[in-house]
Amino acid sequence: MDLSLPERLDDDDSLDELLRPLVRDPDVPPAADSVTLRFGTLRFVEPVGVALLASLLEWLQRHGTSCEIRVPADAEDAEPIRYLDDAGFFERYLGYRLSGHASLRPTTRPLAFVRPAESYAWTQNTLVAWLAHSLSMPPDALGIIGIGLGEVFNNVRDHSGVEGGCVFAQHFPRQQRVQIAVSDFGVGIPATVRRKEPDLDDPAALLRATDAGFSSQSVINNLGAGLDSLLTQVALANGGTVRIRSGAAALTAEAPDGAVLRTPAPMDTVYPGTLLRLDLRTDTFDPDEAEDESLSW
Amino acid sequence: MTTPPLHVLDLVPQCYSAEDGQQVYQVVAPPLARGERVALSFAGVAVVTSSFANTALVPLLDLVGADSLRERLALQDLRPAVARLLRQRLASEATRRARAVES
């Protein structure tokens, strides 16, 4: 199969344009024995696009599908190609950087495949340390990031059926935000929820998964609440937004008025696993945050 | 009787996984079950997860009951994000258990 990337990899439509020809179900082998991905058509890519590309390539490899990446020589200077090259994407999947001048940008955290067992150390020692340095803040002031990703990776471990997720992060200093994208091609949230509540469609299942008291009990003694905690920390406490795509559904969470507003929606194309986009505000991290609370509940 | 304050990072290297939580539970549960007061310090902890809370603290609700737990377990030295998560987990599970008893 010969596939040219869409011009943009940022929103749902463009991500679906890439997914649709290749993936119908994470457990069904790819629609082709070999795939050629042509990058010459790419004009813009966001972190979610990078995470999706990586997940797709990992999934193709897992199914034994040979994958060729083609970048025309005259496209190597195009901004999205340089961005991917600087982020280490081609080094990871081709074994080499396209340009001798490629170097990691200080505002980019290179693509990583993170296993749950490594996720605490990676988040604290790599992701948080990088952003804290950029913001000139103590790492402990960015606890929300560790908590949020902890919830994500505990979910990957308990429910996804895959070994880990692809993570990519981009800091936007002028906008005072950081975007973190995590993708896995595992079971997906709606399928997991339907083990306990089989009558829910994908949007209802995705919404249900974010309820505080819900657990699919995929793991004994798993009381759930991971996604609820993620939304509370990112949307309510940080003032950021969370967008989740899984199965034939998406859900956006934000807290414009002091309460988390969760908006599920059906999607025409199935995302074979889970894609999370965390948009965090960096102006709400408190470098002087104290450890002085006692808990009453 | 109050046991000396326990520092959670003396019990586990991080408050992240369900297994971390189980280790904490195994230390704090026996004195609470004996009717003692326990103080647990989260000094140095910037990250907790619901998986940790679900195995470290939530089962204590079933062990001694919500009212006794509020009285006997003191969680101290918490960062706001950590306090928020632990409060959310304990309050939510205490409410769920109370509703189950009523129905």
Per-residue three-class SS string for A51-97: HHHHHHHHHHHHCCCEEEEECCHHHCCCHHHHHHHHCCHHHHHHCCC
Rg (CA), chain A: 19
Rounded to 5 degrees, φ, ψ at A42 are -75, 130
Q: Please tell me the predicted confidence (pLDDT) of residue A223.
A: 59
**Residue A217 DSSP code:** -
Say whether B81 and A229 touch across the interface (CB within 8 A): no
Q: Distance between CA atoms of A36 and A44, rounded to whole angstroms?
A: 20
Nearest CA-CA distance, residue B80 and chain A, Å: 7
For chain A, say whether B27 makes contact (Cβ under 8 Å).
no
Least confidently predicted of A36-50, A68-82, A237-251, B25-39: A68-82
**Chain B positions in Cβ-Cβ contact with residue A284 (cut-off 8 Å):** none
CA A232 – CA A123 distance, rounded (Å): 19
* Span A220-278, pLDDT tens digits: 545 568 899 999 999 989 999 999 999 999 999 999 998 999 999 999 888 888 999 99
Residue A259: its chain B contacts at CB < 8 A? none
* E strand or H helix that includes residue A278: strand A261-281
Look at A147 and B14 and tell me if their CB atoms are within 8 Å.
Answer: no
Mean pLDDT over residues B67-96, rounded? 93
In this structure, which amino acid lies at residue A108? T
**Strand order in A241-254's β-sheet?**
A108-114, A165-172, A177-184, A261-281, A241-254
CA-based nearest distance A59→chain B, Å: 26
pLDDT at A63: 84
CB B33 within 8 Å of CB B41: no
Instruction: Report how far residue A9's alpha carbon sits from residue A42's, in angstroms, rounded to the nearest whole number.
Output: 8
**Minimal C-alpha gap between A209 and chain B (Å):** 14
* Overall size of chain B counted in residues: 103
Question: Does B76 sit within 8 Å of A225, measured CB to CB?
Answer: no
- pLDDT for residue A97: 92
Rounded CA-CA distance A234/A147 in Å is 9
Asked if B8 reaches chain A (Cβ–Cβ under 8 Å), the answer is no
Closest residue to B91, CB basis, from A139, A151, A297:
A297
Place of tokens 């304990």: B90
Query: Rounded to whole angstroms, how far apart are CA atoms A270 and A51?
Result: 16
Nearest CA in chain A to B96: A213
Written as one letter, the residue type at B25 is Y
Task: Extract the runs of DSSP E, i.e. beta strands, from chain B.
Answer: 6-7, 38-41, 73-76
* pLDDT at B76 (0 to 100): 93
User: Any bridge partners for residue A244, and if so which?
Assistant: A251, A276
Give the pLDDT confidence of A99-135 residue by residue, as tens digits: 988 899 999 999 999 999 999 999 999 999 999 999 9
Q: Report the C-alpha gap between B42 and B23 in whole angstroms.
A: 15
Predicted structure pTM score? 0.92
**pLDDT at residue number B28:** 96
A178 DSSP β-pair partners: A171, A280
3-state secondary structure at position A238:
coil
Interface residue A295 vs chain B (CB under 8 A) = yes
So what's the pLDDT on residue A281?
Answer: 96
Does B23 lie at the interface with A, CB-CB under 8 angstroms? no
Give B90 to chain A, closest Cα distance, Å: 7
- The C-alpha atoms of residue A281 and residue A284 are separated, in whole angstroms, by 6
> What are the chain A neighbours of B55 within 8 Å (beta carbons)?
221
Residue A192 near residue A286, CB atoms below 8 Å? no
Q: Does A124 touch chain B (CB under 8 A)?
A: yes
Whether the CB of B98 is below 8 Å from some CB of chain A: the reply is: no
Nearest to B96 among A146, A154, A213 (CB): A213
Q: How confident is the model at residue B46 (pLDDT cuts 50, 70, 90)?
A: very high
Residue A75 distance to chain B (closest CA, Å): 43
Q: What percent of chain A has pLDDT over 90?
A: 60
Nearest to A53 by CA among A80, A25, A78: A80
SS3 B8: helix
Cβ contact B87–A143 (<8 Å): no
A144 close to B (CB below 8 A): yes
Q: Does B70 touch chain A (CB under 8 A)?
A: yes
